């Protein structure tokens, strides 16, 4: 079979496909839906889950204009029909109209939020359409008057002569019709440092966490009933900022169970849901998935986690990689709005304490604002799905170097911070192993034209607040 051809239209995202119809004395054959070929042409990989058929016995039967909240791939199995589409989505293209005659060699991909209507041009026409969500009873969606003068659809058969349902005769005019809002964004782990930063970068998102707060709803991803009840089909984007980050406590029996649930099982659940509901999943990981022996950690370095926390994060990475549309941002030494290393050093500097800080673990700080900015950049730029390293830029520094800089910015002498090795610091303590080198290679994300801000510049601004 030859490749079909694809034609764009006046409605963004709505495309016409001219199919290869093979005819002989027996009739005809066509590949009505062929994922590999059609995606290669530029059709979205929309993942149909249901095939519907509709038969109209009489010429002039007219349906619509209906705006279902899912994508649709429409063709006719036999006969000819006139198709009309109206953009009912919020935005500049609202009210745009496109029409085309449908026959067995013509198919149309209709994106969510575009109203569709069909008029049979002969007796005995059968429509076939694929949709990427299961039909749900009582699902509300916008509808539009077939005869609305502002869109002026040129019906081949006058509506006065057409077969139209009573319901379709009472649909509102364009000026009074509801507009289809875009799918939403969900931030998981909204109470945390990163979750709060993401909420600033993605205002208006739905917010969930394990604990309720102002504007934050409780959602436990380890609760199967709660997950099943959540309306995942309403989201185009899910940002998973939730994690169990108590590295040392993860080594305890209780901490081990919590860490595996939050860092491995929950991301696996989200990856499954992303495939089922076609949303883009953004997940945030850690340089702890590596043992710290490489001089510079690249995205494709084999995983080599040391402790329980690290192992659970690595398992989560593997699970998220199965989501069809995912960005996995691997980061290091995260600093944001909340309790963290920098705030602790500021507190000690203010109290006159002279701490001892390890000097043989090196890396770069990642400020949550920078991580949120990188997320926005990848999404808005349409970057290739996959794993990206992200930290602030600048030279690698030890924890001791950073503590000295915080003391200097706090008006204390850098010499008030004393160095100590990790082994000396850990002596007599129940501590999980840490990677000695946490420096991430940033070449992949900078190749997308994202330039990370120098960590010391960001640190000075952060300490001033």
Is beta strand 334-335 parallel, antiparallel or unpaired with respect to 397-398? unpaired
Buried residues in 306-343 as b, exposed as e (16+ CB within 10 A): bbbbbbbbbbbbebbeebeebbbbbbbbbbbbeebbbb
Determine whether 244 is an active site residue: no
Catalytic site residue from 94, 118, 127, 129: 129
Buried residues in 129-149 as b, exposed as e (16+ CB within 10 A): bbbbbeeeeeeeebbbbbbbe
Catalytic site residue from 66, 141, 377, 385: 66
CA–CA distances in Å: residue 245 to residues 6, 35, 256: 48, 41, 11
Peptide bond into 65 cis (omega under 30): yes
Instruction: Identify the DSSP state of 17.
Output: E
How many C-beta neighbours within 10 Å does residue 227 have?
A: 17
Residues whose CB is less than 8 angstroms from the CB of residue 100 and which lie 6 or more positions away in sequence, other chains included: 16, 83, 106, 108
H or E segment to which residue 224 belongs: helix 224-229
Determine whether 377 is an active site residue: no
d(CA 237, CA 325): 10
CA geometry: angle at 70 spanning 372 and 236, to 5°?
5
How many C-beta neighbours within 10 Å does residue 431 have?
A: 14
Active site residues: 66, 129
């Amino acid at each position: 079979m030859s490749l079909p051809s694809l034609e764009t239209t006046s409605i963004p995202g709505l495309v016409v496909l001219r199919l290869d119809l093979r005819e002989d004395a027996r009739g005809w054959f066509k590949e009505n839906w062929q994922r590999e070929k059609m995606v290669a042409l530029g059709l979205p990989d929309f993942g149909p889950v249901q095939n519907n058929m509709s038969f109209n016995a009489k010429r002039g039967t007219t349906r619509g204009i209906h705006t279902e909240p899912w994508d649709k791939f429409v063709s006719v199995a036999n006969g000819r029909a006139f198709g009309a589409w109206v953009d009912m989505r919020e935005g500049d293209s609202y009210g745009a109209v496109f029409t085309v005659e449908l026959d067995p060699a013509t198919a149309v991909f209709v994106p969510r939020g575009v109203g569709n209507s069909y008029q049979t041009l002969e007796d005995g026409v059968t429509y076939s359409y694929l949709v990427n969500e299961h039909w749900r009873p009582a699902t509300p969606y916008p509808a539009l008057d077939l005869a609305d003068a502002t869109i002026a659809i040129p019906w081949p058969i006058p509506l006065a002569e057409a077969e139209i349902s009573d319901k379709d005769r009472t649909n509102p005019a364009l000026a009074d019709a509801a507009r289809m809002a875009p799918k939403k964004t969900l931030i998981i782990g909204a109470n945390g440092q990163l979750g709060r930063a993401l909420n600033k970068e993605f205002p208006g998102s739905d917010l969930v966490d394990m604990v309720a707060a102002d504007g934050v709803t409780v959602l436990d991803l380890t609760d199967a009933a709660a997950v099943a009840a959540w309306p995942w089909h309403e989201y185009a984007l899910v940002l998973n900022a939730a994690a169990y980050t108590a590295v040392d406590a993860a080594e305890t029996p209780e901490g081990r169970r919590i860490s595996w649930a939050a860092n491995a099982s929950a991301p696996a659940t989200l990856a499954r849901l992303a495939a089922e509901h076609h949303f883009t999943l953004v997940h945030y990981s850690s340089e702890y998935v590596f043992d710290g022996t490489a001089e510079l950690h690249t995205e494709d370095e084999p995983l080599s986690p040391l402790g329980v926390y690290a192992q659970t994060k690595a398992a989560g990475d593997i699970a998220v990689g199965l989501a069809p549309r995912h960005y996995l941002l691997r980061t290091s030494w995260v600093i944001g709005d909340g309790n963290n290393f920098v705030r602790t050093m500021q507190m000690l500097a203010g109290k006159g304490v002279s701490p001892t800080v390890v000097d043989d673990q090196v890396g770069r700080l990642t400020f949550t604002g920078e991580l949120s900015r990188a997320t926005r950049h990848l999404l808005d730029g349409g970057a290739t799905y996959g794993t990206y390293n992200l930290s602030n830029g600048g030279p690698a520094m030890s924890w001791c170097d950073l503590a000295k800089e915080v003391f200097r910015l706090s008006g204390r002498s850098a010499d008030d911070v004393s160095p100590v090795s990790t082994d000396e610091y850990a002596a007599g303590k129940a501590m999980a192993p840490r990677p000695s080198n946490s420096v991430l290679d940033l070449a992949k994300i900078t190749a997308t034209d994202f330039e990370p801000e120098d960590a010391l510049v960001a640190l000075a601004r952060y300490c001033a607040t």
